[in-house]
Every structure is written in structure tokens, then in C-alpha cells.
Amino acid sequence: MSSEAPARDALVALAGASIARGSRSFALASRLFDRPTRDRAWLLYAWCRACDDLADGQDHGFELRAVDDPAARLARLTALTEDALAGRTTGEPAFDGLAALMAEVAIPRAYIDEHVAGFALDAEGWRPRTEADLIRYCDHVAGAVGCMMAVVMGVHPDDAPTLARARDLGRAFQLANIARDVREDMAGGRCYLPQDWLDEVGLAADQLLDRPDETARLTLRLTALAERYEASARVGARRLAFRSRWAVLAAAGIYGDIARKVRARGADALDRRVVTRKRAKLAWVARALWQAREAER
């Protein structure tokens, strides 16, 4: 463990490199924030990304694989997070960045604990049995992050209505991810489609790729949920400062296109990973600017 953390500017630079590598969509949207908010959003993203990579044995979200030591990985990310929250230098920039962020923004501890609990579910090999289980999982791994991002944007921790909309945006993002990543998740030994959905169409979790038409019916349900939560989140964006509203609306549109493309491709989405091209992302930046301005009228 290092005795001294890097300077804040260095931590922000490393966090910026992390988001640029791990999510081009979020990296682009984050550029729309004012600089203080952008820097803090990067620090939060870097911690979330580092926890995810450590839990899954990934490098910035690429190549999900089954790990043989999930409990040890969970213990390490939990310990590093605890050190950061206690203000102790960890020697890991993403976790030292969390400490720097917490010194500036009063993010409720409950959201951090909720997020870490999502990694614990994956470490246990948990799978959802019902749609409600699936949404609770989305809350852990993305809804809580949406709430933390909202606080970073200046939303008061007691502003329950706005935070509920922020949680909905996280849900929308995660549902889109699950709909897109069925094949990748199977390669990592995971299935996030609720068991009761599988039972309805007579599918076992290991048959998803063998019966693409039935699987596409289930991913269609995921995309419908994602679009519903995206619409809810857009209502909440009206309560944000202009630059933050612009960034959130751009991210919602860019990421929402993943769900819309999965829906449009149907079974073909299982064979070819859905991506959003740069031109389409820039179009959403322009559209979101208009939407953000309209919200002020």
C-alpha cells in the first residue's frame, strides 16, 4: 500500500483515460458537463469500472470470463473501497480517486454499499428468478450508480423524486446491456434473464443460443423495459442544471439506441454485438442540446 496518493489532477487524468477506454458513449456524454462535474463523474466512473474489472477478471469491460476466485476478488474490491472511504491511500488510482471524490461530494454511503452488493451477487453465482429480481440486480449494478452520478451533478441526497429518475436511467442502461450481451454473459457463465421468463417459453439457460427466436422474444421484453425506464429518466433530467441535463439526455439517447437496435435486429442481435456508431452519437449530442433547451421553456 502506497503512503501517498497521486495528486488529484493525476487521478482525474487517469480516470479520464479509463472512461475513454471503457465506454466511448459515456466518455462523449461526459464532455458536455461543466469541468468540475466532468472531473468528478470521471472519478466515480473509474471506481465503478475498477470494481467491475476486478470482480470479472476484465480489462475495461472487455472479454468477460468465468473467474476461479470470485470470493477473493470480492474481498479485495471491498477492502480497497473501505480503505478509500476511510481516507487511506490504497496505491490503486481508481480507489484513491474515490477517496478524492468523497472528500468533495457527500455521496451517501448507502449507494456505495448497494453497488458493491451487486458484485457480491455475481460472486455467489446468483441468477434472477423473477422480473422483480432482475430490477433489483439492475439497481445494485447501475441504479445506485445513477443516484451517485446525480449527487455528483448537484442533486441533493434528500431529493427523492429526482434520485428515483436517476435510478431509472441506470436501470435502462443495464437492461440494454443485458439484452445486448446474452452471448457474452453465457461465455462468462451467467444468465440475467429471469427464470420465470425462461419457463414461459420452455428454455433452459444453456439453450439461449440454440433457440434464437425464443431468446429474441425475451430480449424484446428487456428492451421494452429499458425504453420505459429511459422515458422516466428523461422526465427527471428536467430538474438538472443545463450542462448536466444536456449530458444526461445525450447519454440516454446514445445508450438507448443499443436497446432499440437489439429490438430491431431480433435474433440477429445474438450473433453480432450491437454498437452505436460515432456519427449516431454526435447526432444525439445535437438532439440532446435541443431537448435540454426545450426543457427550460
Closest by Cα among 173, 293, 204 to 242: 293
pLDDT band for position 228 (cuts 50, 70, 90): very high
Is there a domain that residue 110 lies in? yes
What's the confidence (pLDDT) of residue 63?
Answer: 64
What are the pLDDT digits (tens) for 268-296? 999 988 989 999 999 999 999 999 999 87
Name the average pLDDT for the chain: 94
Mean pLDDT of 195-219: 95
Count Cβ atoms below 10 Å from residue 273 Cβ, excluding itself.
Answer: 11
Is there a domain that residue 121 lies in? yes
Is there a domain that residue 66 lies in? yes
pLDDT at 5 over 80: no
Is there a domain that residue 2 lies in? no
CATH of the domain at 249: 1.10.600.10
26, burial (CB in 10 Å: exposed 0-12, middle 13-18, buried 19+): buried
pLDDT band for position 67 (cuts 50, 70, 90): confident
Is there a domain that residue 3 lies in? no
Residue 164's domain comprises 8-294
What's the confidence (pLDDT) of residue 202?
Answer: 95
d(CA 287, CA 295): 12
Is there a domain that residue 197 lies in? yes
pLDDT at 218 over 80: yes
What's the confidence (pLDDT) of residue 211?
Answer: 95
Is there a domain that residue 1 lies in? no
Which pTM value belongs to this model? Answer: 0.94
pLDDT band for position 188 (cuts 50, 70, 90): confident
Is there a domain that residue 81 lies in? yes
167-179 burial by CB neighbour count: b if 16+ within 10 A, else e?
Answer: bbbbbbbbbbbbb
What are the pLDDT digits (tens) for 84-116? 999 999 999 999 999 999 999 999 999 999 999
What are the pLDDT digits (tens) for 129-152? 999 999 999 999 999 999 999 999
What's the confidence (pLDDT) of residue 3?
Answer: 57
Mean pLDDT of 6-33: 95
Mean pLDDT of 228-240: 95
Total domains present in the chain = 1
Closest by Cα among 263, 258, 248 to 280: 258
